[in-house]
């Protein structure tokens, strides 16, 4: 079992936001459709293929072809875990603690002002005397 270091955590978080970005674009920037795509992919309705050394996830979701290149070293299980985390973010990341709206998802994936934070990042800050480590 691989140890989760802070650098690996940041890599996973970046990959998760990148995956949500791809799903959000494929969903025509609609949060409810993005959630439906996440749910469809989570039940394993996808194939993995190797192309030139890269592993590609491929699926037909909501009448649209979806493809995503897995980061190096990732398995289908890692992809499912990312979908689980995305589901959690999308269903609890709204301002009210509920499902994200279209504008909230836009703010999260675009993050133009670099203001998006994660619960874990906030916990690191709290444990380090309110300073990010």
Instruction: Tell me whether residue 133 is in a domain.
Output: no
Instruction: Tell me whether residue 30 is in a domain.
Output: yes
Instruction: Tell me whether residue 3 is in a domain.
Output: no
Domain that holds residue 111: 8-127
| Cα separation, 9 vs 110, whole angstroms | 20
| Total tally of structural domains belonging to the chain | 1
Instruction: Tell me whether residue 104 is in a domain.
Output: yes
Residue-wise pLDDT for 68-100, tens only, equals 888 888 888 888 989 999 999 999 988 888 999
Instruction: Tell me whether residue 16 is in a domain.
Output: yes
Residue 50, classed as helix, strand or coil, is: strand
pTM, full prediction = 0.73
Residue 122 has what pLDDT?
A: 42
End-to-end Cα spacing for the chain: 25
């Amino acid at each position: 079992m691989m140890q989760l270091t802070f650098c690996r955590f940041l890599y996973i978080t970046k990959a998760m936001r990148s995956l949500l970005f791809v799903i959000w674009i494929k969903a025509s920037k609609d949060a409810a459709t993005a959630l439906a795509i996440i749910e469809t992919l989570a039940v394993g309705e996808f194939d993995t293929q190797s192309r030139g050394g890269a592993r590609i996830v491929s699926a037909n979701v909501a009448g649209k072809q979806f493809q995503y290149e897995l980061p190096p070293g990732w398995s289908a299980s890692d992809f499912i875990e990312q979908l689980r985390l995305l589901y959690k973010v999308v269903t609890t990341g709204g301002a009210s603690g509920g499902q994200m709206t279209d504008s909230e998802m836009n703010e999260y994936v675009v993050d133009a002002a670099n203001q998006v934070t994660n619960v874990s990042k906030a916990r690191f800050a709290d444990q380090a005397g309110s300073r990010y480590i």
